[in-house]
Amino acid sequence: MGLEWVEGFYSRTGSWWGPAEARVSERDRARVRMLRAHAGDGPARVLELGSGYGMTAVAAVEDGFDVTAVELSDRVRHTPAMPGLTVAGGSFYDVTLDGRFDVVCYWNGFGVGTDQDQRRLLRRIAAEWLRPGGVALIDVFNPLVWARLHGTKDHKFPDPSRGYAHELHQEIHFDAATSTAHDTWWDAATPDEKITQVLRCYSPADLRLLLEGTGLRLDTVTSRAPGGLRLLTESYEYTAVLLPVDTGDPVQEGAAER
């Protein structure tokens, strides 16, 4: 499955969860701490891809970053206007942006689409957006955990006091042959209107192979949660720290594009 489902899925789920989740949370603050750890203490220009409600972008601006946020779905309507924050609607495969950035981040979203889609995005990050010496922080879905969730079902009841108004069902399937999770949701009031997000998962070793020929290399993997290597067995995703490839690297120059 390609990218045709993306806008509809995130717009629909955003209508379910936006009233509860369109606010700065500790998760957003943890992302900003990671940004600061890699960008240093001074001001920096940040590009956030797939910014959702825009709350991490807001938290980053509040911490002194200049942020450009790109979001396709109508979750972007929750992003407030504020100095230091530029919001671009549309797909990051097509969007035109000015200048380069010290940090490019993509929280909780990489793996949407095919391997070719991921490489196309990685090449844009390396060739168009990331400045020399910059860093990309990319959340990658962890196949070990998603595989363990195969066949699981969940039933979420409304919690109006927290902003959750819908009774929802979730069912997860994992395709081991393609390392892809199929995460299906539906509203109990409309059980025939199921929507599915399709998430390509990559182990760190698989990610290294995916990066060949893109202009980026994997420096390390980390997590915003404590636990060290437990992140590979307990976390839905890990954060890949990507750096520009040295243009003199003969291995990368000779890598075949898949």
Instruction: Please give the structure tokens belonging to residue 54.
Output: 């825009």
pLDDT of residue 253 exceeding 70, the answer is no
- Paired strand residues for 175: 180
* pLDDT on residue 24: 97
Q: Where are the beta strands (DSSP E) in 72-215?
A: 85-89, 101-110, 130-141, 153-156, 168-175, 180-187, 195-200
The pLDDT tens digits for 181-225 are: 999 999 999 999 999 999 999 999 999 999 999 999 999 998 876
Question: Phi and psi for 253 in degrees, rounded to 5?
Answer: -65, -30
Contact 79, 99 (CB under 8 A): no
Q: How far apart are CA 100 and CA 90, in angstroms?
A: 19
Sheet with 66-71, strands from edge to edge, namely 85-89, 66-71, 45-49, 101-110, 130-141, 237-244, 216-222
The pLDDT tens digits for 64-97 are: 999 999 999 999 999 999 999 999 998 999 999 9
pLDDT of residue 257 exceeding 50, the answer is no
Max distance between CA atoms of the chain, in angstroms, equals 58
The pLDDT tens digits for 26-73 are: 999 999 999 999 998 888 999 999 999 999 999 999 999 999 999 999
* pLDDT on residue 2: 73
The pLDDT tens digits for 230-243 are: 667 788 999 999 99
Q: Note the pTM of the prediction, 2 decimals.
A: 0.91
